[in-house]
Amino acid sequence: MKKLVLGIAAAAVLMLTGSIYFTPYDGKCVIIADNKTVQAKVKNQTVYEALKSAGIVLESMDIVTPSLNTRVSDGMNINIIRVRESLVKVRNVQKYGITHIYDNKLNKDETVVLECGRPGYVEKQYKVLYHNDKEVWRKLHHITSEQKPKDDLVVVGTGAQKRVTVMPRKKMWVVRSLTMHATGYYPGPEDCGVFAEGVTASGMKAGYGVVAVDKRVIPFGTKLYIPTYGFAIAADEGSGIKDRAIDLCFETYKESSVYSPRYLKVYVIE
């Protein structure tokens, strides 16, 4: 009977304390957390109780080894991995290229940049998991924004056009554009009357590459690129050239007479 009572008592103690001894267990353990190693005294405690006694606060995602309900033994190492999630934005830049347009009304080695390119990008947001501030996993959360790359649009000359004007640089850039109503003229008496001398209103010799404009819209001396005509300088005017009208000078009356009026885009370049 006495042995039975002692057995029951020992079982009760074991259930309550995790030990068959009545006196609480004393020992030391090592706690590794937050890049620090701490030695802590324990007295018949679980891992959770030992951490609480050491003043270590756990977050919901932290990983503790061994588990929190494990009874601490002397010399045990308790390792805490701090776990956190974060949303991280990443922008991937996409390079742009060059699209060429070939024009035989521009001379060889002459180029006009109609539109300047810009890079594209894709901005993504990732969900990232960290263990002790080191990334261990990431997953695409969603694409926040994106922009497709836009190529340089460059006109490349392939011709050998004779004109009275010279393009001041082999490469020029568009600064603005206008949609204009274009006609053609010949600077001789057939188009400009019997007193025509082949000299423009600005004093420049008339010929291919000279255009008449409304000075209020395009000042004299402005450099232009006109598709299907080429490089030109605004240097003439006329009684019928008002607002967004432009008159293109040709070397022969035949060329001017077959040039049908049309709307086209005129580029101011520099």
Residue 189 region by backbone torsions, left for phi larger than 0, else alpha for psi between -120 and 50, else beta? alpha
The pLDDT of residue 249 is 96
Give the span between the Cα atoms of 12 and 23, in whole angstroms.
Answer: 14
Give the span between the Cα atoms of 49 and 57, in whole angstroms.
Answer: 11
Residue reference for tokens 């190492």? 77
The torsion angle over the Cα atoms of residues 203, 205, 210 and 214, rounded to 10 degrees, is: 20
Tokens of 2: 């006495």
The pLDDT of residue 241 is 95
Give the span between the Cα atoms of 246 and 152, in whole angstroms.
Answer: 27
Please name every residue paired with 156 in a beta bridge, in sequence order, or none if there are none. 102, 111
Phi and psi of 190, rounded to 5°? -60, -35
The pLDDT of residue 11 is 52
Query: CB–CB of 209/85 below 8 Å?
Result: no
Residues 6 or more apart whose Cβ sits within 8 Å of residue 152: 96, 97, 98, 99, 113, 115, 116, 117
One digit per residue, pLDDT tens: the chain, 270 residues? 544 444 554 455 445 444 444 345 678 999 999 999 999 999 899 999 999 999 999 999 999 999 999 999 999 999 999 999 999 999 999 999 999 999 999 999 999 999 999 999 999 999 999 999 999 999 999 999 999 999 999 999 999 988 998 899 999 999 999 999 999 999 988 888 777 788 999 999 999 999 999 999 999 999 999 999 999 999 999 989 999 999 999 999 999 999 999 999 999 999
The pLDDT of residue 198 is 85
The angle at the Cα of 54, spanning 13 to 76, to the nearest 5 degrees, equals 60
Give the span between the Cα atoms of 259 and 247, in whole angstroms.
Answer: 11
Give the span between the Cα atoms of 198 and 1, in whole angstroms.
Answer: 138
Q: Where are the alpha helices (DSSP H) in 222-266?
A: 253-258
Tokens of 239: 């009684």
Query: CB–CB of 258/248 below 8 Å?
Result: no
The pLDDT of residue 110 is 95
The pLDDT of residue 68 is 96
What does 58-102 look like in DSSP terms, one character per residue?
Answer: PPTT-EEES-TTSBP-TTEEEEEE-EEEEEEEEEEEE---EEEEE
The pLDDT of residue 98 is 97
Residue reference for tokens 């299907």? 228
User: Parallel, antiparallel, or unpaired for β 210-212 and 230-236?
Assistant: parallel
Strands of the chain (E only): list them. Answer: 26-33, 36-43, 63-65, 76-81, 83-94, 98-107, 111-115, 120-131, 134-147, 152-159, 171-185, 210-212, 223-226, 230-236, 245-249, 262-269
The pLDDT of residue 8 is 53
* Domain range summary for the chain, segments of one domain joined by +: 2-57+70-80, 85-147, 162-269
CATH class of 162-269: mainly beta
